[in-house]
């Protein structure tokens, strides 16, 4: 299962980034998706507990997730405003300056300078004016334009593409000029480009019209008086288009059909994979019987699948991508569909034994929510979810930002690096800690494991904040074994222990829903807003301080509760480090 959803889940935030969504929009989306999990997991868990259809629901969501992941390839990107300034005087330039004076990255500047010997063509759609018409007629040599330059209503003339045109575009029925716009084809030589402060100025060698059966007119545009016009541009050079195209859409995405299509599909995919994991965990605990401490060893195989296919997916993306900035995500859509279809076939052969039946699931479930031990456990799950949400949604985003500002050579294989990061998270962190999680929890106890998780989160976030070379993330990700491997094992195993007979799926669904629906949701929203305002490094620094504070509070509460004997809290809260078997835990719950 993990192998099937890993490629999509891993790269979905960077897919959203490439489509033009800002960190605030992505954070808002990812704050809603876990809420859907919070709603759906307990509902699906209660349905399978009540009607004993666990395997049927499990297989259905595996199939749906594969089809939805494949459908994401058809989502269109947001409409970008690729507008530059056309500046004509003694010489003519296209002025390219980032919006809101956002600094150009070192890598963008380097890529332009590496192509200094090239020349490329651009199609321009410029705002028309009387001044523009007069300059084209009198100075540029476009005599056909003079026939209409003094008329109040300019007719339109169809243009035809030349056989040797360097412009990369499809055929169209556009006109080459009218009252509102002028359509030009310009040739630019990179050797005359100039980089001043935060802008690039690309000198136009020649401008051309191609229309009717007239000869092609090439002219070096020179204006008697300064002429400036805003032009929409489409160039044959990917390097230049990467420079011109804004990184995020500036308007309201709520008015765009592209956004709602994207949001609907990722919502369905997120709910599907959430239900798959929830039911998969429940089936796993059914098969383990009275040995839930072995869950980590079973879960480590999921981490292995996740790691292998994340590395493979990242490598495929770089292999199939020609641009260092805009990657071709087509391979992962096919990969997700193929692997999930294989999962469907394998899971259909799985024997699922459903023997425990609760006569009143919702009554038993209500009793659990009145226990302090359960409420304390859920509170910790929320805090861990907040920290996890920040990493899940913005780590790869941050790595791309670090690479673009500092390590340009890394951008060419950034997806492979991101895949390797997921591999280290799994093989270097999650697998060993999943495997040894039962032994660790027996030795340290759940409360001490919780404190350890928060402390390591603080270290991990601080390490991100001082990062200058994205390769070092491979070392930092070894901590993922504690912050996710051990944390998730504690989360799921104790949820199974606390659940009364017959309500295991409901309890696991609740805990997973709270972890994602509240914790990951808040982490995504808070992280997105902070990232947009302060940038990646400062945001991770703030999360480091917050995690350290929560760790200190957790340790202090343990000390206070242990020293005050009058506070007769259950063993889960009072600091007991004993690991109880399911039967013992149930008796403890009833006795309390």
Give per-residue pLDDT as tens, 565-581. 544 444 433 333 333 33
Mean pLDDT of 176-187: 75
Nearest Cα to Cα of residue 223 among 330, 332, 122, 93: 93
238, 122: one domain: yes
Instruction: Tell which of 303, 318, 351 closes a domain.
Output: 351
361 within 8 A of 37, measured Cβ to Cβ: no
Instruction: Specify whether the CB–CB gap between 16 and 251 falls below 8 A.
Output: no
* Residue 110 included in any domain: yes
Q: Which of 155-159, 181-185, 280-284, 365-369 has the lowest mean pLDDT?
A: 155-159
End residue of a domain, out of 205, 221, 244 = 244
Taking the alpha carbons at both ends of the chain, their separation in whole angstroms is 38
Q: According to the model, what pLDDT value does residue 525 have?
A: 92
What pLDDT does residue 298 have?
76
Q: How far apart are CA 487 and CA 126, in angstroms?
A: 57
How much of the chain exceeds pLDDT 90, in percent? Answer: 22
In a domain, 470, yes or no: no
Tens of pLDDT, residue by residue over 66-102, are 999 999 999 988 888 788 889 888 888 888 887 766 7
For residues 338 and 314, membership in a common domain is answered with: yes
CA atoms within 13 A on the CB side of 562: 11
| CA max distance for the chain | 99
Q: Does residue 331 sit within a domain?
A: yes
**Which tokens is 175 given?**
């006109």
Going by pLDDT thresholds of 50, 70 and 90, the confidence category of residue 166 is very low
pLDDT in tens, 198-227: 788 888 888 876 544 444 556 777 888 888
Please say if the pLDDT value at position 26 is more than 70: yes
Q: Is 406 contained in some domain?
A: no
Q: Are residues 193 and 110 part of one domain?
A: yes
Task: Quote the tokens at residue 465.
Answer: 């904040």
CA atoms of 504 and 498, how far apart (whole Å)? 9
37 pLDDT tier (thresholds 50, 70, 90): confident
Number of domains observed in the structure of the chain: 2
Burial of 242 (0-12, 13-18, 19+ CB in 10 A): middle
**Mean pLDDT comparison of 370-379, 481-490, 496-505, 579-588, highest-scoring range:** 481-490
Q: Which residue has the higher pLDDT, 537 or 570?
A: 537
- Kindly indicate the confidence band of residue 503, based on its pLDDT and cuts at 50, 70 and 90: low
Q: Is the pLDDT of residue 307 over 80?
A: yes
At residue 356, does pLDDT exceed 70? Answer: no
- pLDDT band at residue 312 using 50, 70 and 90 as cut-offs: very high
Same domain, 125 and 180: yes
Q: Does some domain include residue 13? A: yes
Give dist(CA 459, CA 90) in Å, integer.
58
Q: Give 463-501 pLDDT, tens digit per residue.
A: 999 998 899 999 999 999 899 888 988 887 777 777 766
Residue finishing a domain among 212, 244, 276: 244
- Decide if 334 is inside a domain: yes
* Dist CA 202 CA 86 (whole Å): 10
The share of the chain scoring above pLDDT 70, in percent, equals 80
What was the pLDDT predicted at 587? Answer: 34
236 plus 258 within the same structural domain: no
Report pLDDT digits (tens) over 234-293. 888 888 888 887 777 777 888 899 999 999 999 999 889 888 887 887 788 777 777 766
Are 321 and 238 part of one and the same domain?
no
Question: Does residue 291 share a domain with residue 188?
Answer: no
Write down the residue that tokens 């704050």 correspond to. 31
Q: What three-state secondary structure class fits 532?
A: helix
Name residue, tokens 């899940």: 392
Eight-state DSSP code of residue 126: E
Do 275 and 338 belong together in one domain? yes
Supply the pLDDT for residue 436.
Answer: 80
Confidence of residue 527 (pLDDT cuts 50, 70, 90): very high
pLDDT in tens, 427-461: 887 788 877 877 888 888 877 888 899 999 999 99
- Same structural domain for residues 87 and 74? no
Highest mean pLDDT pick, 103-107, 496-500, 546-550, 572-576 = 546-550
3-state secondary structure 253-297: HHHCHHHHHHHHHHHHHHHHHHHHHHHHHHHHHHHHCCCHHHHHH
Burial pattern 68-94, b for ≥16 Cβ within 10 A else e, equals: bbbbbbebeebebeebbbbbbeeebbb
pLDDT at residue 524 in the model = 92
Domain assignment present for residue 160? The answer is: no
Question: What's the mean per-residue pLDDT of the chain?
Answer: 78
Question: What pLDDT shows up at residue 142?
Answer: 66
CATH code for the domain of 65: 1.20.1250
Residue 158 included in any domain:
no
pLDDT of residue 348: 86
Q: Using CA atoms of 572, 573, 576, 577 in order, give the dihedral in degrees to the nearest 10.
A: 70
Cα 201 versus chain centre, distance? 33
314-352 pLDDT, tens per residue? 999 989 887 777 888 999 999 999 999 998 998 888 777
What pLDDT digit, counting tens, does each position of 108-130 carry?
777 787 777 778 888 888 888 88
Position 167 scores a pLDDT of: 37
Residue 508 neighbours by CB under 8 Å, 6+ apart: 45, 278, 281, 282, 285, 492, 495, 496, 499
For residues 35 and 116, state if they share a domain.
no
Q: Are residues 139 and 192 in the same domain?
A: yes
Within 10 A of 305 (CB to CB), how many other CB atoms are there?
19
Shared-domain flag, residues 191 and 119: yes
Which residues constitute the domain of residue 46? 1-78+254-351
pLDDT at residue 118 in the model: 77
Q: Is 90 exceeded by the pLDDT of residue 391? A: yes
Cα 352 to Cα 286: distance, rounded to the nearest angstrom: 8
CA torsion angle for 145, 149, 152, 154 (degrees, to 10)? Answer: 10
Under 8 Å between Cβ of 64 and 295: no
For 139, counting Cβ atoms within 10 Å of its Cβ (0-12 exposed, 13-18 middle, 19+ buried), the class is: middle
Could you write out the three-class secondary structure of 340-396?
A: HHHHHHHHHCCCCCCCCCCCCHHHHHHHHHCCHHHHHHHHHHHHHHHHHHHHHHHHH
């Amino acid at each position: 299962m993990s192998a099937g959803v890993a490629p999509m889940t891993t790269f979905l935030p960077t897919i959203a980034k490439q489509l033009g969504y800002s960190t605030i929009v992505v954070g808002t989306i990812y704050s809603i998706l876990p809420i859907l999990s919070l709603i759906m997991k307990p509902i699906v868990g209660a349905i399978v507990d009540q009607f004993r259809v666990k395997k049927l629901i499990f297989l259905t969501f595996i199939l749906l997730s594969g089809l939805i992941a494949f459908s994401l390839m058809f989502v269109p990107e947001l409409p970008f405003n690729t507008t530059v300034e056309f500046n004509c005087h003694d010489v003519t330039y296209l002025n390219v300056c980032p919006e809101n004076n956002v600094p150009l990255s070192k890598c963008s500047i380097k890529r332009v300078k590496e192509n200094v010997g090239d020349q490329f063509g651009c199609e321009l759609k410029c705002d028309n004016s009387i001044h523009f018409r007069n300059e084209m007629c009198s100075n540029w040599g476009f005599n056909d334009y003079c026939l209409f330059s003094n008329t109040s209503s300019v007719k339109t003339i169809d243009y035809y593409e030349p056989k040797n045109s360097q412009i990369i575009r499809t055929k169209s029925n556009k006109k080459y000029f009218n009252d509102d716009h002028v359509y030009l084809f310009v040739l630019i030589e990179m050797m005359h480009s100039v980089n001043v402060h935060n802008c690039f100025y690309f000198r136009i060698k020649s401008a051309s019209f191609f229309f009717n059966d007239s000869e092609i007119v090439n002219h070096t545009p020179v204006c008697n008086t300064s002429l400036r016009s805003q032009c929409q541009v489409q160039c044959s050079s990917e390097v230049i288009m990467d420079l011109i195209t804004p990184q995020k859409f500036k308007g309201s995405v709520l008015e765009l059909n592209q956004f709602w299509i994207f949001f609907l599909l990722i919502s369905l995919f997120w709910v599907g994979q959430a239900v798959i994991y929830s039911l998969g965990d429940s089936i796993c605990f059914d098969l383990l019987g009275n040995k839930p401490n072995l869950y980590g060893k079973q879960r480590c195989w999921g981490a292995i699948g996740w790691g292998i296919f994340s590395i493979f997916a990242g490598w495929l993306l770089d292999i199939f991508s020609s641009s260092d900035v805009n990657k071709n995500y087509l391979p992962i859509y096919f990969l997700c569909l193929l692997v999930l279809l294989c999962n469907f076939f394998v899971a259909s052969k799985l024997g699922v034994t459903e023997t425990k039946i609760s006569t009143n699931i919702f009554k038993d479930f209500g009793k659990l929510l009145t226990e302090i031990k359960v409420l304390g456990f859920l509170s910790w799950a929320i805090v861990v979810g907040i920290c996890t949400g920040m990493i899940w949604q913005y780590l790869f985003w941050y790595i791309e930002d670090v690479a673009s500002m500092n390590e340009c050579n890394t951008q060419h294989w950034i997806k492979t690096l991101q895949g390797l990061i997921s591999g280290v998270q799994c093989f270097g962190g999650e697998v060993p800690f999943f495997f040894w999680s039962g032994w660790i929890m027996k030795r340290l106890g759940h409360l001490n494991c919780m404190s350890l998780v928060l402390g390591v989160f603080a270290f991990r976030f601080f390490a991100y904040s001082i990062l200058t070379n994205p390769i070092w993330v491979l070392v930092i990700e070894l901590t993922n074994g504690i912050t996710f491997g051990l944390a998730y094992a504690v989360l799921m195993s104790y949820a199974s222990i606390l659940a009364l007979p017959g309500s295991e799926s409901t309890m696991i669904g609740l805990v997973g829903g709270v972890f994602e629906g509240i914790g990951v949701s808040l982490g995504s929203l808070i992280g997105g807003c902070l990232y947009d305002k302060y940038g990646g490094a400062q945001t991770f620094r703030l999360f480091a301080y917050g995690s350290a504070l929560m760790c200190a509070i957790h340790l202090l509460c343990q000390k206070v509760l242990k020293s005050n004997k009058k506070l007769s809290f259950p063993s889960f809260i009072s600091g007991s480090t004993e690991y109880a078997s399911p039967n013992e835990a149930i008796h403890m719950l009833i006795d309390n």
